[in-house]
Structure 1
Amino acid sequence: MKNWARCFMLISTLGLLGSGCSSDDNNEPTADVPMNYEPCSNGMAGQYPCNGYDLLATKSLSFFSAQSANDIWGWEDPDTGKEYALLGLDNGTAFIDISDTENLVYVGKLPTATEPSLWRDIKVYQNHAFIVSEAAGHGMQVFDLTNLREASEQPKVFEADVLYTGFGNAHNVVINEETGMAYAVGTARNDEYAGGAHFIDISEPKNPKGVGGYADNGYSHDAQVVTYSGPDVDYQGREIFIGANESQVVIVDVTDKNASFEISTVLYPNIAYTHQGWFTDDQRFFILGDELDEQNLGFKSRTLIFDFNDLDNPELYDTYLGPTDAIDHNGYVNGNEYFLSNYTAGLRVLDITNIENQNLVESGYFDTYPNNDNAAFDGVWSNYPYFQSGKVLVSDMSSGLFVIQKSN
């Protein structure tokens, strides 16, 4: 039996969602085949199926001495203008200077705080990376990204500037940059917040302080937290937590860290595993993915759109079914586009300009996993579409880092 199959059995048995499994028999990462610019022409960019997105560069897992990749985020140095990929790996976090896509520079790695894990998550605030993992006892690493400017030896092995230990393992960390608050979610189900949100004041990044938490709705797998500016006048200016809590979406007012309260919960037909979602820029609609509905219920890649015009009475507004059987994972909104990490179907980009008219259209894609589009846990884990240059970062669980950009 292949190692990937053994890993998949472990996922199915233990409920280890969103995991990464190497797809080769020896559990070795794919060979590093450096690749620079490949335009998307006649539906292909080199060996990769595409529509409207060119390949700028790749770096495989072997380059980072890792067995699997997971989350990804980005950072643009405000002083130098350099762009960096922050790539989550099973054994740490890699920092790659992608400014010159013909010559990607692997600056270094921050090793995992305790042990390797298939899960790692990264966010950025005030030029610091905040990193959590499902690794036991990992806590939250705080890393000053300006350290990357001074890395004379490359790749360099970095150390965290701070290790916050107010929790052990965590599936994800969410940051509201307007308030300087971090929210660690998916922690141990038997901790003081039942796997719900831990509130951490990171307004001084190197001095994180726990300031409470929220447990009333149980385990939160993922979340988004915003200072609300949407259409519901009752909550204007409030800090609102939207949690993907396995079997429901929860909307919580977390403005007062000592008196957070549930606003509403959201259900929808055919719930398999409520995984992750993101607001449209106007905070009217919330776009959600269910991670197991394709595999368990036979849907095409299903994306759910909720109308949050009234936070007390949210409702399912529309359902988009993609063209493949692949499982949807992390998705992010940037303007009128929704960037959906779609595992074996790669990165899919949806035009949400007419979301109010229930008209979502796939405008492009880049498939890092050309083998198939099956409902399986491999391929694209996450993406980062927020660089001013238009570069998009993509993390592939078994192939590593991809840098792509919309075709001219």
Structure 2
Amino acid sequence: MRTVFILLGLALTLTLTAQVELQEATLLGNWDDPNLVGSSAYDNTYNEVWGLALGGREYAVIGSTAGTHFLDVTFPNDIRQMAFVAGGTSGPSIIHRDYHHYGCYLYAVADEGVNSTLQIIDISTLPDSVTVVYDSGETLQQSHNIFIDSLQAKLYCLAAFGGEAGGSALRIYDISEPTTPVYLAEYSNFGGLSASHVHDAYIHNGLAYLNCGYNGFAMVDFTDPMAPQTLGIMQDYSFSGYNHSGWPSNDGNYYYLGDENHGYPIKVIDVSDPTDMLDIAVLAAPNADLSQTIPHNQIVACNYLYVSYYYDGLMVYDISDPASPVPAYFYDTSDWVFDNNYRGAWGVYPFLPSGNILVSDMQRGLFVLRGPETECYQQAESVINCGIINNTETPTWVNEIGIFPQPASSALHLRLPQNATTTEAQLRLLNLSGQVMHTFNTTSLNAGSTSLDLPNLPNGMYLLDIQAKEWQMTQKVIVQH
């Protein structure tokens, strides 16, 4: 077993208060192509990792200096490359690629290369093949990261370049027609926080958490992307450096914030009141020598926070108490000796139905690890149904549905307008990670008011998902007892 030290308090000098025995995750498989070259900047052959589940099979998507690799990881001891898409630019100049999917399309970008493009790849024919259905630099040439708000059908491009807009801190596209992205707007000022660029973001149903590098952190409501509302900003916090990335807790009350600086721990930020965000704790370092610790990417799935640390590999924290993460599992993907650089684990993806964890290592490729639990992954929204996107016209009265009270305690009421037609619908409450928290009995929605009894849930923000035969909608619900 390996020893880590719990770091408590927010003083500049950390106090080592306890030792925790960690469980080493089980390696199920590794994939690496020795014929690929490393980047000239960091000698990293590989970068971001993403996961797909369709047709009863599981796939890893990993970026390299050459392009995008689609790997069948259904049987991790026999990983096979099923498809490959070359990047617009390839070779040692490429450091960073990024991916997100919307329905049966994977969106791919690179952060370097004069010939780089936005690529949209049809993945519906896996495992046989994939098809590039959009490959253009006309409106977007480069982007450091992307994030897709699938509930709003919006593609957010972060630190973007190309097209008439030139360079953008943050740029938004409408992808209601998935293969025809439409530029909407760009922003660089969020309630007084002026960002030279937005490095990364998490956006769900219009609520955005923006990591703005050395300019700080912002929470913004993009429900109307043409008139966003800044909810709060934070520029002064413990161990503030290059505000790199993060992920909210399932209840939306906390945010796990990583600054990409040597020796800077991940912070737990109380964001329950965006106008008064507070840093309340720091996470245990994966290495006894804090100066060697560099967090890169963070993702929350169920009751765990997954973090890829460059030199130290994967660390999984138990967040059953979201304000006090506890180290639970680890796996070193790299044996690099710390050299004040950037090497080792880059990305992590924990949403596959099997519960297996995907980790990309900059020099050693893809690692498939056994995850800590499987129950909640069966409901992961990352499982792709190629019938999810359709062109059925939503009745205009659907947009007039009201949900009250806000906040709610024991009951929730839906008010439909008088012109609404009677509709059988399935209603679910989801947390902000897409996990189903409660499924209501099939409900007949009629003009007027419909009442729903709420289960006993922790205080926080949830999503009411309404699935009817001809339409679907999702609205935010705040639970406060």
TM-score band w.r.t. shorter chain: 0.7 to 0.9
Following the alignment from structure 1 to structure 2, what is the Cα–Cα distance between the partners of residues 185 and 220? 5
SS of corresponding position for 2:266: strand
1:264 has 2:232 as partner: yes
Unaligned runs of 5+ in 1: 1-41, 44-49, 152-157, 228-238
Following the alignment from structure 1 to structure 2, what is the Cα–Cα distance between the partners of residues 331 and 189? 28
Is the Cα contact below 8 Å between 2:233 and 2:274 reproduced in 1?
no
- Per-residue CA deviations over 1:255-288 (Å, capped at 9, x if unaligned) read 2122123222112133221100111111111111
1:110 to 78, 85, 92: 85
User: Hey, what does 1:195 align to over in structure 2?
Assistant: 168
Is the Cα contact below 8 Å between 1:122 and 1:173 reproduced in 2?
yes
Cα–Cα, structure 1 residues 333 and 373, in superposed 2: closer, same or farther, change >3 Å? farther
1:274 to 240, 243, 247: 243
2:27 to 55, 59, 62: 55
Deviation at 1:214, TM superposition (A): 1.6
1:350 has 2:350 as partner: no
Deviation at 1:118, TM superposition (A): 0.6
- Per-residue CA deviations over 1:43-87 (Å, capped at 9, x if unaligned) read 7xxxxxx83311111111326x3431000000001xx21100000
1:155-304 correspondence runs (5 A): 160-164=132-136, 165-188=138-161, 192=165, 195-216=168-189, 217-218=194-195, 219-227=197-205, 239-247=206-214, 248-267=216-235, 268-292=237-261, 294=262, 299=263, 302-304=265-267
Deviation at 1:190, TM superposition (A): 11
User: Hey, what does 1:140 align to over in structure 2?
Assistant: 118
SS of corresponding position for 1:353: coil
1:318 to 275, 281, 289: 281
Question: How many percent of aligned residue pairs carry the same amino acid?
Answer: 25
2:329 to 346, 364, 367: 364
Is the Cα contact below 8 Å between 1:69 and 1:395 reproduced in 2?
yes
Aligned residue pair count: 333
- Per-residue CA deviations over 1:175-215 (Å, capped at 9, x if unaligned) read 11111111000124998485321111112211221111222
1:329 has 2:329 as partner: no
Is the Cα contact below 8 Å between 2:82 and 2:128 reproduced in 1?
no
Matched AA of 2:53: E
Following the alignment from structure 1 to structure 2, what is the Cα–Cα distance between the partners of residues 137 and 270? 38
TM-score by length of 2: 0.65
User: Hey, what does 1:14 align to over in structure 2?
Assistant: none
Cα–Cα, structure 1 residues 287 and 140, in superposed 2: closer, same or farther, change >3 Å? same
1:69-108 correspondence runs (5 A): 69-77=46-54, 80-108=55-83
2:307 to 333, 340, 353: 340
Q: CA RMSD for the aligned pairs?
A: 2.2
SS of corresponding position for 2:126: helix
- Per-residue CA deviations over 1:71-118 (Å, capped at 9, x if unaligned) read 0000001xx211000001112010001111222111121111234411
Larger helix share, 1 or 2: 1
Deviation at 1:374, TM superposition (A): 6.0
Following the alignment from structure 1 to structure 2, what is the Cα–Cα distance between the partners of residues 284 and 407? 24
Is the Cα contact below 8 Å between 1:193 and 1:214 reproduced in 2?
no
Matched AA of 1:308: V
Cα–Cα, structure 1 residues 115 and 407, in superposed 2: closer, same or farther, change >3 Å? closer
Cα–Cα, structure 1 residues 320 and 374, in superposed 2: closer, same or farther, change >3 Å? farther
SS of corresponding position for 1:258: coil
Following the alignment from structure 2 to structure 1, what is the Cα–Cα distance between the partners of residues 164 and 357? 36
Following the alignment from structure 2 to structure 1, what is the Cα–Cα distance between the partners of residues 74 and 67? 22
1:373-388 correspondence runs (5 A): 375-388=340-353
- Per-residue CA deviations over 1:119-156 (Å, capped at 9, x if unaligned) read 100111102111111123523210011232333xxxxx
Matched AA of 2:117: G
SS of corresponding position for 2:246: strand
Following the alignment from structure 1 to structure 2, what is the Cα–Cα distance between the partners of residues 191 and 284? 38
Q: Identify the range of structure 1 (158-167 vs 386-395) with the bigger mean alpha-carbon deviation.
A: 158-167
Is the Cα contact below 8 Å between 1:304 and 1:320 reproduced in 2?
yes
Following the alignment from structure 2 to structure 1, what is the Cα–Cα distance between the partners of residues 199 and 309? 18
Deviation at 1:316, TM superposition (A): 1.4
TM-score by length of 1: 0.77
Following the alignment from structure 1 to structure 2, what is the Cα–Cα distance between the partners of residues 278 and 129? 21
Is the radius of gyration larger for structure 1 or structure 2? 2
Is the Cα contact below 8 Å between 1:52 and 1:406 reproduced in 2?
no
Is the Cα contact below 8 Å between 2:295 and 2:310 reproduced in 1?
yes
Cα–Cα, structure 1 residues 106 and 383, in superposed 2: closer, same or farther, change >3 Å? same
Larger strand share, 1 or 2: 2
